[in-house]
Homo-oligomer: A and B are copies of this chain.
């Protein structure tokens, strides 16, 4: 199922703020409503936000009265572009559709469809390529006497599924492909404090795809790996540096340490666009601190004394020495065999 699409002349999306207790589809017919939806995180995940932005520009063009001047259209485009200032993908997709839509609204909509279809094709490619790699790794481990090469138990973090990317996603696309191939024994998402995307969103997607799964608190992940509880760890990426160091949701580094200590493969799944040749290594990536509120409360309930100070890094850096391989929509890079980007 698609979590975001163009349906009968408007944008429809699953409202992620209400998941998992309420599954509600938002129908968005105006640019103002789209901007509000992006701002309150009803849609999140770089690819999904990019597609939403592309459709928003098409919507603005289709609603624009061609008898008037362009200033209303331009203001609408600017408001979409700045709905999430740090989301590079949003600005890039808005900029791609805007000139086309300004000249021809129908062509703009066609371009937005193309962006959606490109994201979907990338997810399918990552899922297939990643599942091929996981199967190959299991054969290698079985040859080394580690496992019997049967169905695979996959640990993962955050939400890297269709909710983040229209459909299928990145690391979770690999889980889905393994499940479709009958090779998934169990998915083991960690809950991913502070915002609990693993507990709220990934479990919901796994339920929808009928994949067996068990949820873990974050710090149980490395211990379960040490006890032989998973065969591979799959994560997404916010940014991959030129040397392979990977910035991703806080908690990824802990899983990488646990996987390395237990001899379990640790695989990053991300589109080519995530690779940033301008960043030499993880040392050059600044870590955003998102402030104490997310740590001191859970969904509005206080879990620490009022005013408790916190250190809240939004993501962490996994050094390439702990990463077995990177899977993109175009290639597989085996760092464990000395391959480089």
Residues in A lying within 8 Å of B, measured CB to CB = 20-21, 188, 190-194, 196, 199-200, 203-204, 207, 213-224, 226-227, 229, 250-251, 253-254, 257-258, 261, 287, 292, 295-296, 298-306, 308-313, 316-317
For A223, A229, A313, the residue with the greatest tally of chain B CB atoms inside 10 Å of its CB is A223
Task: Given A203-B304, A224-B313, output 11 extra A-B contacts at Cβ < 8 Å.
Answer: A196-B303, A203-B308, A216-B312, A217-B250, A217-B312, A218-B219, A219-B254, A224-B311, A254-B254, A298-B298, A299-B301
Residues of B within 8 A of A254 (CB): 219, 221-223, 254, 257-258
Q: Would you call B194 and A217 a contact (CB within 8 A)?
A: yes
Minimum CB–CB distance for A249 against chain B, Å: 9
Minimum CB–CB distance for A235 against chain B, Å: 12
CA of A309 to CA of B189 in the docked complex: distance in angstroms? 11
CA of A177 to CA of B279 in the docked complex: distance in angstroms? 44
For A21, A200, A221, A254, the residue with the greatest tally of chain B CB atoms inside 10 Å of its CB is A254
CA of A317 to CA of B226 in the docked complex: distance in angstroms? 9
Minimum CB–CB distance for A122 against chain B, Å: 27
CA of A204 to CA of B303 in the docked complex: distance in angstroms? 11
Q: A298 is contacted by which of B216, B227, B250, B303 (Cβ under 8 Å)?
A: B303
Q: Would you call B257 and A216 a contact (CB within 8 A)?
A: no
Residues of B within 8 A of A310 (CB): 214-216
Q: Would you call A200 and B304 a contact (CB within 8 A)?
A: yes
Q: A215 is contacted by which of B192, B215, B226, B308 (Cβ under 8 Å)?
A: B308
Which B residue sits closest to A222, measured CB to CB?
Answer: B254
CA of A254 to CA of B193 in the docked complex: distance in angstroms? 15
Q: Would you call B218 and A218 a contact (CB within 8 A)?
A: yes
Minimum CB–CB distance for A154 against chain B, Å: 13
CA of A191 to CA of B311 in the docked complex: distance in angstroms? 11
CA of A203 to CA of B308 in the docked complex: distance in angstroms? 7
CA of A21 to CA of B302 in the docked complex: distance in angstroms? 8
Q: Would you call B261 and A257 a contact (CB within 8 A)?
A: yes
Q: Would you call A316 and B220 a contact (CB within 8 A)?
A: yes
Which B residue sits closest to A190, measured CB to CB?
Answer: B219
What are the 4 tightest A-B residue pairs by CB atom distance, in nearest-first order? Answer: A219-B251, A20-B305, A223-B316, A193-B217
Residues of B within 8 A of A301 (CB): 298-301
